[in-house]
Structure 1
Amino acid sequence: MGRLEGKVAIITGAGSGIGRASAILFAQEGAKVIVAERDEAAGRETVRQAMAQGGTAMFVATDVTDEKSVENMVRATVGEFGKLNVLYNNVGGSSVHDNSVTEAPLEEFWRSIKIDLFGTWLGCRYGIPEIIKAGGGSVINTTSVFALTGIPKKDSYTAAKGAISALTRSMAVEYAPQKVRVNALAPGATSTDRILKVIAEDNGGVVNQLAKGQMLGLPTPHEIACAALYLASDESRVTTGQILPIDGGFIVA
């Protein structure tokens, strides 16, 4: 029996990278997976891959920055599968336009806040009530190693991800009585197609510096997905309010 047998899980940004790897792994472990993704072609490809390996998955077009879209994501999930047990707020990402607080464009600050922080907030706002109705479950947020240590030229992204870390701890306390545990993953540079391209094109840049400082190298999307699987499963029943770095040892180097 799979580690997520009988569970229903939403994964945002599941059309590529860590989100796709997590959707496929969750489906392999028995979950009914909602692939919540803005890019329809990418989302449907994730569904195809998950189902090709015997899993159950459904695509729901989702823009995490739009309240009605997130509300529909949760409504569609419960309408199709009857409940929600796991919410994995995976969507997010930094931009080459980010910079120091004195140099970053204001629109970049608001972009980071909207997609990273507000997108996580909305997912929790509509997802947690359904998890409570299901008798409890797991919320997995995505922060970053950037939120745990000082990183230059990423102040917009750091602000958003740091807020997610604080929100994770606050919600863990708020919803523990309803048996909802709330944790966050803090990846370092990960070997997704996007990050590998950034490393190749921006030698000496911030992401390159991060990657070089990861003593055990870059984790794969699947390795991040394995950590998410633990937090989604009943094995983490008494784990809440934690921020789990998966960074090749960067923050202790």
Structure 2
Amino acid sequence: MFNVKGRWALITGASRGVGYQTAIFMAKQGCNLILHSRKLEHTKEVEQAVRKLGVEAYSVEAELANYEEVAAMLNEIEAKEFPVDILFNNAAVQIAYRKDYWETPVEDFEKSFQINFISIAMICNRLIPKMIERGYGRVINTTSGIKNEPEQAGYAASKAALDKFTKDLASRLEGTNVMLNLTDPGWCRTDLGGQHAPNAVESVIPGIAVGAFADDKKSGRFLHAQAFTGMSLEEAVAKAESMEANPYII
């Protein structure tokens, strides 16, 4: 199991929900944090909380639908000269629930893809090559198990695109000590998931972060957070590393 103490992790969507839980958990393991949200004021609470746990942290802001802001955020992170060794692409939006899904507007797809897929591709393409150069990296892209819901077509399609991007890219990382995997928090009671979801947001720990600790240099896994609920981190890592890493099992 890899020791993340003293490493730097970027968490998008860190101000609440799954991102907040991830930040607190990683701080407890001694990981320094770069906390992203749309506005700096949104991450004040989580930044204070993780610093109390004894790690370094700072916040960055970017509207992920604005590619200039995404690029500026990445420029700012690089200027700090703290290398990003761990990346949690957590931020996402669910635009609307369209009961008349035949009338789903094009804008649903455009905004969903901008935030849930294209911004993540930009971040990965900027940071992963530098991880390869340094000989270490862990990237966890957050997907969704949503299916058979055309009412949420924009959200579902953007997550499917992210899945494809992640799996294909994972095939190029063998032997690099950079691991790229997918995680799914499950349907949780968050601002995105709503209050009728069956799972408490705390149930994502440790599964949502287990990909940062696995150390067998294998990419392409699908790590469903709810499959690790209640486990110790050591147990979760052992289970994750026992799972098949082939991203295209039929």
Query: Structure 2-normalised TM-score?
Result: 0.81
Q: Given the superposition, is the C-alpha separation of residues 26 and 246 from structure 1 closer, same or farther in structure 2, using an over 3 Å criterion?
A: closer
**Residues 87 and 138, structure 2, Cα contact 8 Å, conserved in 1:** yes
Q: Given the superposition, is the C-alpha separation of residues 150 and 194 from structure 1 closer, same or farther in structure 2, using an over 3 Å criterion?
A: closer
Q: Distance in 1 between matches of 2:71 and 2:13?
A: 16
Structure 1 segments of 4+ aligned residues over 6 angstroms from their partners: none
Q: Distance in 2 between matches of 1:181 and 1:160?
A: 22
**Residues 98 and 105, structure 1, Cα contact 8 Å, conserved in 2:** no
Gaps of 5+ in 1: 200-210, 212-216, 249-253
- What SS does the aligned partner of 1:92 have? coil
> How large is the RMSD of aligned CA atoms in angstroms?
2.4
Structure 1 letter corresponding to 2:217: V
Q: Given the superposition, is the C-alpha separation of residues 192 and 74 from structure 1 closer, same or farther in structure 2, using an over 3 Å criterion?
A: same
1:222 aligns with 2:194: no
- What SS does the aligned partner of 1:178 have? coil
Q: Given the superposition, is the C-alpha separation of residues 84 and 167 from structure 1 closer, same or farther in structure 2, using an over 3 Å criterion?
A: same
Q: Distance in 2 between matches of 1:81 and 1:95?
A: 35
**Cα displacement (A) at 1:33:** 0.5
Matched with 1:182 is 180
Q: Given the superposition, is the C-alpha separation of residues 222 and 41 from structure 1 closer, same or farther in structure 2, using an over 3 Å criterion?
A: same
Matched with 2:167 is 169
Structure 1 letter corresponding to 2:223: L
- What SS does the aligned partner of 2:172 have? helix
Q: Given the superposition, is the C-alpha separation of residues 221 and 131 from structure 1 closer, same or farther in structure 2, using an over 3 Å criterion?
A: farther
Matched with 1:5 is 5
- What SS does the aligned partner of 1:145 have? coil
Q: Which moved more, 1:152-161 or 1:128-137?
A: 128-137
1:65 aligns with 2:45: no
- What SS does the aligned partner of 2:73 have? helix
**Cα displacement (A) at 1:40:** 1.9
1:232 aligns with 2:212: yes
Q: Distance in 2 between matches of 1:57 and 1:79?
A: 15
Matched with 1:77 is 77
**Residues 98 and 153, structure 1, Cα contact 8 Å, conserved in 2:** yes
Matched with 2:24 is 24
Matched with 1:137 is 137
Identity rate, percent? 26
Q: Distance in 1 between matches of 2:220 and 2:143?
A: 13
Q: Distance in 1 between matches of 2:103 and 2:86?
A: 38
Matched with 2:45 is 45
Q: Given the superposition, is the C-alpha separation of residues 190 and 55 from structure 1 closer, same or farther in structure 2, using an over 3 Å criterion?
A: same
Aligned length: 227
**Cα displacement (A) at 1:16:** 0.9
**Cα displacement (A) at 1:194:** 4.7
Q: Distance in 2 between matches of 1:170 and 1:11?
A: 22
1:121 aligns with 2:150: no
Matched with 2:223 is 244
- What SS does the aligned partner of 2:92 have? coil
Q: Which moved more, 1:3-12 or 1:176-185?
A: 176-185
**Cα displacement (A) at 1:93:** 2.4
Q: Distance in 1 between matches of 2:210 and 2:225?
A: 13
Structure 1 letter corresponding to 2:210: Y
Q: Given the superposition, is the C-alpha separation of residues 193 and 113 from structure 1 closer, same or farther in structure 2, using an over 3 Å criterion?
A: closer
Gaps of 5+ in 2: 228-250
Matched with 2:233 is none
Q: Given the superposition, is the C-alpha separation of residues 32 and 97 from structure 1 closer, same or farther in structure 2, using an over 3 Å criterion?
A: same
Query: Structure 1-normalised TM-score?
Result: 0.80
**Cα displacement (A) at 1:111:** 1.1
**Cα displacement (A) at 1:54:** 2.0
